[in-house]
Amino acid sequence: MSHNTNSGSPENQTTSEASYKASLARQASRTLAQTSDESRTAALEMISAKLRDFSSDIIEINQLELSTAREKGLSESFLDRMMLNEERIEGMASGVSEVAGLEDPIGGIEDMSERPNGLKVGKMRIPIGVLASVYEARPNVTIDIAAIAIKSGNAVVLRSGSDAHKTSSILAEIARNAVSEAGIDIRSIQFIESTDREEVDHLLAAEEFIDLMVPRGGSELIARVRDNAKMPVVAGGIGVCHTYVDGDADFEMAGDIVLNAKTRRPSVCNTLDTLLVDRSAAAEFIPLVSQRLADAGVNMHVEPETITLLPASANVLPLQQEDYDTEWLSLDCSIRVVDGLAGAIEHIAQHGSGHSEAIVTSSSDNSKTFLAAVDASAVFVNASTGFNDGGEFGLGCELGISTQKMHARGPMGLKELTSYKWIVLGEGHTRP
């Protein structure tokens, strides 16, 4: 396939690519908001089909970028986030189809009521307008965001990190061609081709065209976006996640949950970073779980009092105080013994990032206390933090996982990409 995602060039040399493409997205958003759910659904099914059709092209480009990234010495966790293969592309295609099949999030009427004077007042769900996302290593974000944006009637402007830029570019081209073939304005999806960092600044300043900015990446990127964006920002992705094993927990189940949360995919934001163990369970549970973690190649960061509980085969590192505030994104895990449920809740309050927190317990009272006291986008009882994901929550793809409280929290699906307007129905009503 030809590889050119340009939507035209800036009308003059003083207009940045980001500003120009944001203006095109704004123009497209007006008609996109009025399209039928059938049209938007067809566009997503077309994206899904084209991902499968062009999977070999995607993988070829991705492999070249992975080779370059390895030569630069980038970490294995970074490379894992970059990598696309047949299985992951199929997962992307399936995710898009799942979003396509979800209920139309716009146009519905909520909270309709009749006032004493006979006026009928309610809220109509509408698209936010134009979304923009600046993201780093994960090219699948290109498709995830494009799909849920189109389904929810929003135009979108995408800016990929440089290491996976070519992979993201071909994915954006696939999405743009698909929506165009389905009869939707191709300008609804914009991709910034320039890798110049100044384009990010131009995008963050384009508040006249962009309604919501969503950064996806590490703490430095998110801080830069929050500090410089002129439009509202919904940020997420930073995960310092905990699992607390209560004194009366089923230790076999707890071990399964801990191992899954840590090793299923260490490079993602919902993976386990710090294991908290009730002091009454430490002598029995820590030797069991640490052996399983050691067998899986996990490096364990522990305090002196805990080292004696670990097997000789374990890769043990003396814990540094900053370790409790570290999102590892690797096969590393801090382990801490705490004084019961209260100690676990206090530790999470001090060191958690508000992302994903879990308790393993057989106590209904303790689970209720944990659910009420722990402040996070998702709180789990007897389940792995790895489930904090839009697909697992039935949302299909997600825009990201917000750790904020305003506008959206947790996996951001279709409804989180809508707003509302009041609608008022009268029969010649005039106000006295």
Q: How far is CA 237 from CA 134, 135, 398, in A?
A: 12, 11, 12
Q: How confident is the model at residue 102 (pLDDT cuts 50, 70, 90)?
A: very high
- Distance, CA of 82 to CA of 15 (rounded, Å): 31
At residue 53, the pLDDT reads: 97
Check residues 132 and 305 and name the one with the higher pLDDT.
Answer: 132
- Distance, CA of 80 to CA of 83 (rounded, Å): 5
Tens digit of pLDDT for each residue in 315-358?
Answer: 889 899 899 999 998 899 999 999 999 999 999 999 998 899 99
Q: How confident is the model at residue 206 (pLDDT cuts 50, 70, 90)?
A: very high
At residue 408, the pLDDT reads: 76
At residue 313, the pLDDT reads: 80
Kindly list the domain boundaries of the chain, sorted by start residue. Answer: 17-234+412-424, 241-387
Tens digit of pLDDT for each residue in 274-314?
Answer: 999 999 999 999 999 999 999 999 999 999 888 889 888 88
Q: How confident is the model at residue 5 (pLDDT cuts 50, 70, 90)?
A: very low
At residue 216, the pLDDT reads: 86
Res. 24: pLDDT tops 90:
yes
CATH class, domain 17-234+412-424, is alpha beta
At residue 1, the pLDDT reads: 58
At residue 263, the pLDDT reads: 94
Query: Residue 325: exposed, middle, or buried by beta-carbon count in 10 A (0-12, 13-18, 19+)?
Result: middle
At residue 172, the pLDDT reads: 98
- Distance, CA of 432 to CA of 426 (rounded, Å): 14
Q: What is the pTM of this model?
A: 0.80
Read off the amino acid at residue 186: I
Q: What fold, for 241-387?
A: Aldehyde Dehydrogenase; Chain A, domain 2 (3.40.309)
- Percent of residues, the chain, with pLDDT higher than 70: 96
- Distance, CA of 275 to CA of 241 (rounded, Å): 9
Residues in Cβ contact with 253 at an 8 Å cutoff, skipping those fewer than 6 apart: 360, 382
- Distance, CA of 305 to CA of 360 (rounded, Å): 23
At residue 312, the pLDDT reads: 80
Tens digit of pLDDT for each residue in 41-70?
Answer: 999 999 999 999 999 999 999 999 999 999
Query: Residue 373: exposed, middle, or buried by beta-carbon count in 10 A (0-12, 13-18, 19+)?
Result: middle
At residue 9, the pLDDT reads: 54
Helix axes 364-373, 340-351, angle to 10 degrees: 20
Q: How confident is the model at residue 160 (pLDDT cuts 50, 70, 90)?
A: very high
Tens digit of pLDDT for each residue in 370-408?
Answer: 999 999 989 999 999 999 987 788 776 677 788 777 777
Same topology for domains 17-234+412-424 and 241-387, yes or no? Answer: no
- Give the closest residue to 410 by CA, choosing from 270, 290, 274, 295: 270
